[in-house]
Structure 1
């Protein structure tokens, strides 16, 4: 933070602590916020040819914001990344303006570049099943095959994030009827465990050659360490090549599939939101890739005044 004034640096650290303690922001989010705001402050120092103390930060105009965005956008920073950076800067400014008593309109009124939201691509039911069947026969080590099947079954059958599945400990097995999961931002949710998921984990436990002490990771790598998300991504990449599935058939797609298949079976969007641990319903709607026709169909079938 060499190019950032001590006052701005202290304010940023205080804000980050506020995000961590009061908002429950995850460490990855804190790191991203810090990087984005430091880049912004460093740019303003160079742009204005003076260290940006708190007084100077209060004087930033819309033209300064445009200069920062023009400089930041490039081959490595697309509209989505730019929108994230601007969002971090605005959040910091909103807090700083309230604390210091200045008007942050120039910063807060800056518009993010438009970008097309990429909708997640869930796998069809038969493709999800085929993926698990294919993974089962990929390894020449039966315990590794059983492990990979168990992980994918948890993603698809319980809607877990890959980090949540790999965060399970040996003491969590055999899996109970419901799992208490600590998700993003420390949010806790309760997820029902399907018999198929429990059976898959049991099959893996019977074959796993590594000692499963209570506090050890449940899912192990070949040499006994914790299994990495990269390993599961590679297993799925190999399987999708064999099955001719698109590059969107990733571990996260299994979680999307959980949501979509529940909705197709008549599940309620709010209930699915709870199961996925999403803070907002719009995220769940994106996950389930629900089109208007599908929503109208559900509405017409369920609403007492329909028809």
Structure 2
């Protein structure tokens, strides 16, 4: 079985040797053919030197180094593009995800036929306000909106069929909603597995209260982009048409009233200005739909990142 383990990281030099050694023990025990892709997301410590050293000792370990910090989504996207395994597994580099989960995550994909398995950290060891409250709120809201019955969308420990990661594009802060991206790409068999969550051994968390705002905006963006990115006219054009028709009907009613009673004014009545405003807004939204169609077809650089170095990846 060919498996790729994708590990995005930021300032995790202390945990990398232990993590890689743990992964190696697990995959060797089960006789998997594997590669580990470590993506350094602009670390300011010696993480890249550690990746270079680990890769020199084990050619199965590969590395990608960003020139600056782009975020976890960018790191995952580059890892997905480089992945060659039949099954792709993602995990965090902080040792809070257990590599011992790898065999079962692979089995659920290869034997049970799931397209994607998302981990569920049912028992957590980081019950802080900045992590727990945002996670609970966004997991609840994402379940309601996406209709995907997962408890922990943001868990970094996931497994995928190779076809899934090659069919989705992760950008901005969309890593929280990869199951939603997979569903909108046509992959319906998405499952969940309770996974072990471990206490952080080194360093500190990289997330804070900003997840409240970012998470809500990301969810709104992904639902809109997933549904209308290829057909923005269906969204803007529909609203614009409705607004224009409402304004037109109001104008016609005023004109009919004027014909029936010549003494009635038109331009001196509030409905006249409301109808004109509705027609103008409707026209603008309709044009926005046309512009959106043009922009959607001409955005080649949306997912372009400056990569300073690569190890073992063409």
> Which is higher, the Rg of structure 1 or of structure 2?
2
Structure with the larger helix share: 1
Q: What TM-score bracket applies, with the shorter chain setting the length?
A: under 0.3
Higher relative contact order (CA 8 A, sep 6+): 2
| Higher fraction of strand | 2
